[in-house]
């Protein structure tokens, strides 16, 4: 660079500032100090031998000397240089150690969230883990990088102990290019994924479900029940002007750009539950997902089964054939039925509490999922 008239002025982790001047041959050396600051005495001592202080970055200090001055090397005794690098070695080892511990903790935490429930696809689609996953990758890269730095300083010290001095003409370009590209990529990805939670929050919405028909892929209680006397009961829990017993929420996530969840409750005045526990009051809950990748649909169905099976056993969930669905899983109990369905990139889960036949629920699912 100096041969082209560009002289180093300042440096940071990825960028450096150069100043224009008369082209000349310059030698540059980096010296490492055990403390962050370099002492005036040291600068003075180097200057007297023909090395001018240029700039520092952390523990690294740059000196330059015009080639024609033929100043003596900064370090003439490899054995002594080993001591100089000891502080750096320690610091790097500590960095690498803590980065690796951090990475292991993160991976452990992630793995438990991903796999403890046995519903990895659900966790992915839900989207809450995307940011953490990418952050974990980032931490893993940092750990790898600091480990490499530690090992290369170890190697350097070992070589010095053996009396081999540093090759000041060694090529650095390749390593520099790879590192810069990786750093840039990570900066962009981490930056983007930092936005994701904000998009998710911004797109989250919950409203009271209108009593009339709505153009949403959710199964309505009235369609399943088909009872002329069915009415909506008085709202039991109101908050933020939303009737939480009759509500619909919409959400966005990276892997499920369209997601709805609805709850609906009804009552048929004058009709009683068969066990005479009170007025017949059926309820229905729908979860609808439109996935970015259709290949995830079947896995999501089984993850939803896993998620909602509670104390039931898996064999109570029966896979059925249906001409209009890719996958249909049903579960029936006396007053309750659950339907899990997938078609193309759509997945639907309906949980119904009432006396209507499950075929009525399935019909509605087929109609809405189309």
* Interface residue list for other proteins (CB under 8 A): 31, 40-42, 44-46, 48-49, 51, 72-77, 79-81, 83-84, 86
CB 331 within 8 A of CB 315: no
The nearest distance, CB 157 to other proteins, in angstroms, is 13
Q: Tell me the closest approach of the beta carbon of residue 80 to other proteins, in angstroms.
A: 5
Q: Which two tokens stand for residue 201?
A: 């929050």
Min dist. Cβ of residue 122 to other proteins (A): 56
Cα R_g (the chain), whole angstroms: 33
Residue 40: CB minimum distance to other proteins, A = 6
Task: Report the nearest approach of other proteins to the CB of residue 74 (Å).
Answer: 3
Q: How far is CA 320 from CA 138, 324, 327, in A?
A: 43, 12, 8
Q: Which is nearer to other proteins, 51 or 114 (CB)?
A: 51
Residue whose CB is less far from other proteins, 80 or 357: 80
Q: What whole-number distance in Å separates Cα of residue 53 and Cα of residue 51?
A: 7
Q: Which is nearer to other proteins, 84 or 132 (CB)?
A: 84
Closest distance of CB 156 from other proteins, Å: 15
What is the C-alpha to C-alpha distance for residues 222 and 211, in angstroms, rounded to an integer?
A: 9
Taking the complex as a whole, the smallest distance from the CB of residue 153 to other proteins amounts, in Å, to 16
Q: Report the nearest approach of other proteins to the CB of residue 90 (Å).
A: 12
Q: Name which of 70 and 234 has its Cβ closer to other proteins.
A: 70
């Amino acid at each position: 660079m100096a041969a082209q008239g560009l002289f180093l002025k300042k440096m940071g982790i990825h960028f450096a500032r150069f100043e224009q001047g008369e082209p000349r041959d310059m030698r540059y050396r980096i010296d490492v100090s055990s403390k962050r600051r370099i002492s005036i005495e040291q600068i003075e001592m180097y200057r007297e031998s023909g090395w001018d202080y240029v700039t520092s970055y952390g523990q690294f200090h740059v000196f330059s000397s015009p080639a024609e001055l033929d100043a003596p090397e900064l370090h003439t005794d490899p054995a002594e240089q080993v001591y100089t690098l000891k502080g750096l070695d320690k610091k790097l080892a500590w960095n690498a150690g803590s980065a690796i511990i951090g990475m292991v903790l993160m991976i452990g935490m992630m793995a438990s969230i991903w796999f403890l429930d046995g519903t990895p696809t659900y966790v992915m689609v839900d989207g809450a883990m995307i940011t953490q996953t990418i952050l974990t990758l980032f931490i893993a890269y940092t750990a790898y990088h600091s480990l490499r730095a530690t090992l290369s300083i170890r190697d350097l010290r070992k070589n010095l102990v053996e009396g081999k001095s540093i090759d000041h003409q060694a090529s650095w370009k390749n390593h520099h290019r790879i590192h810069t590209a990786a750093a840039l990529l990570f900066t962009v990805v981490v930056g983007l994924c930092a936005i994701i939670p904000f998009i998710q929050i911004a797109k989250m919405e919950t409203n009271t479900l209108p009593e009339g028909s709505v153009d949403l892929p959710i199964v309505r209680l009235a369609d399943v029940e088909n009872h002329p006397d069915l009415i909506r009961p008085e709202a039991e829990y109101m908050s933020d002007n939303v009737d939480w017993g009759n509500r619909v929420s919409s959400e966005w996530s990276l892997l499920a750009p369209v997601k709805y969840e609805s709850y609906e409750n009804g009552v048929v005045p004058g009709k009683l539950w068969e066990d005479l526990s009170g007025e017949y009051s059926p309820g229905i809950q729908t979860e609808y997902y439109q996935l970015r990748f259709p290949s995830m649909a079947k896995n999501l169905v089984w993850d939803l089964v896993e998620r909602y099976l509670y104390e039931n056993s898996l064999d109570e969930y029966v896979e059925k054939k249906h001409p209009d669905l890719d996958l249909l899983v049903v579960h029936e109990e006396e007053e309750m039925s659950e339907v899990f369905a997938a078609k193309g990139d759509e997945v639907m889960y309906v949980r119904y509490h009432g006396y209507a036949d499950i075929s009525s629920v399935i019909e509605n699912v087929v109609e809405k999922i189309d």
